[in-house]
Amino acid sequence: MLTGLGFPFYIARRYLLAKKSHHVINIISVISLAGMLVGTMALVVILSVFNGFDSVVRSLINSYNPDIRITLAEGKTFLPDSNVISELSRLDGVMDVACALEDKALVRYDEQQTIATVCGVSDNYLALTGLDSMVVEGRPVLRNGSENVALIGYGIKIFLNVILNSPRQLILYAPRRLAQVSLDAERALNRRFIPVAGIFSVEQDFDSNYIIVPLEYARDLFGYHPGEITSIDIKTSKDNIDPTLQEKMKQIMGNSYVVRNRYQQNELFYKTMQTEKWAIFFILVFILFIASFNVIGTLTMLIIEKKKDIITLRNLGANPTQIKRIFLFEGWMISVAGAATGVVAGLLVCWLQMRFELIKLQGSGTFVIDAYPVQVQAADVLLTLLLVLIVGFFAAWYPIRYMSRQHASDMDS
């Protein structure tokens, strides 16, 4: 009769649900369950919020970064071979190819001035990157008839107090590429004017630093030779870049060039996001481990309270392994109940936030989203459950191992 796992599980379930002779044990049991519940819920919610922010930031970065960018391995500018660009365009999976030239310049508007990255781009660049859809004021154009015009970030617009459709223009200054340094500002600097056609809003750092202008205008401003560029930007037909396509581009360009996909263009940022997520995860796991001490206290007091029951079970034929399993199952049931309830509560909180956006971001007017973003991933939920169960198992195993030594005459034959 006292064989298999059914007997220890049955007794453990009775012990868990039955009233204890000491009321404090009931209180500690509830606290143990609540600790596992809150810890599990926090893990699910925090990981989902990190996933939400990661998804939002990735979508923002993807809105202005090309699928693939080709730059020099060493150096800044190069003259692309037209045959090479044609060969890249003919690759299966390549939808469009654009050229860009980036450099720093001093930008003035009335009495305000700032340092910005001026990016000269070919005519198809805006559509290739999707930047044309990010223009929030004005028009997404780089030419007004035969006149060159600029698109500026929202941060630059605020800082310089730029007014659209005004006769005032941006004044851009860039050092001339002279063999000798000159103290005469007129000789040392190129000065060019350009009106503003539109304001784009993508992401704070980008908006505060970038000005988009026609490619020929940028070459003239910085004094580069006709045809010089700093990068070749490519749009592909797939969101996830085929590694074989990237490898073919490397073979075409040779070892003097670096071919980066979207992840590689922002590798440090993505690694930082993942590091922050898992750092918070392990901090919460540690807190959950501390909370599991309540389970240790509950089982220790229960073993002491059930000392007479242990003797009775031994007399009925239960062996020491079965008796240990009774308390092991009880501790694990507390952890399982807390973990399962915590996951349900965490998913409920996530659903409420996604559905009703209950918790708003402070100063939401400056963000592209108004509330904390949430994205639940099954892998995170399963990993959370697994870790909670592992922590719960060891929290139950330790007091049983320790108390079995202390009460060896009762639990052992």
H or E segment to which residue 217 belongs: helix 215-222
The pLDDT-based confidence of 1 (bands split at 50, 70, 90) is very low
Beta partners for 108?
113, 171
Per-residue pLDDT tens over the stretch 140-185: 999 999 999 999 999 999 999 999 989 999 999 999 876 566 566 6
- In this prediction, residues 195-213 reach a mean pLDDT of 93
> What are phi and psi for residue 93, nearest 5 degrees?
105, -10
H or E segment to which residue 211 belongs: strand 210-214
**Residue 123 to residue 348: CA distance in whole angstroms:** 48
Q: What pLDDT, on the 0 to 100 scale, is given for residue 273?
A: 87
- The SS3 assignment for 172 reads strand
Q: What pLDDT, on the 0 to 100 scale, is given for residue 181?
A: 60
Spatial CA neighbour of 87 closest among 209, 251, 267: 251
Q: Say whether pLDDT at 333 is over 50.
A: yes
- The SS3 assignment for 199 reads strand
Q: Say whether pLDDT at 319 is over 60.
A: yes
According to DSSP, the β-strands at 135-138 and 143-144 are unpaired
Q: Say whether pLDDT at 53 is over 50.
A: yes
Burial of 215 (0-12, 13-18, 19+ CB in 10 A): buried
The pLDDT-based confidence of 364 (bands split at 50, 70, 90) is very low
Q: Say whether pLDDT at 85 is over 50.
A: yes
Q: 277 or 321: whose pLDDT is higher?
A: 277
Residues in the chain: 413
Is there a contact between 13 and 337 (Cβ–Cβ < 8 Å)? no
362 dihedral zone (left: phi>0; alpha: psi -120 to 50; beta): beta
The pLDDT-based confidence of 98 (bands split at 50, 70, 90) is very high
Beta strands in 45-149 (DSSP E): 68-72, 94-109, 112-121, 135-138, 143-144, 147-148
The pLDDT-based confidence of 413 (bands split at 50, 70, 90) is very low
Is there a contact between 112 and 158 (Cβ–Cβ < 8 Å)? no
The whole-model pTM stands at 0.79
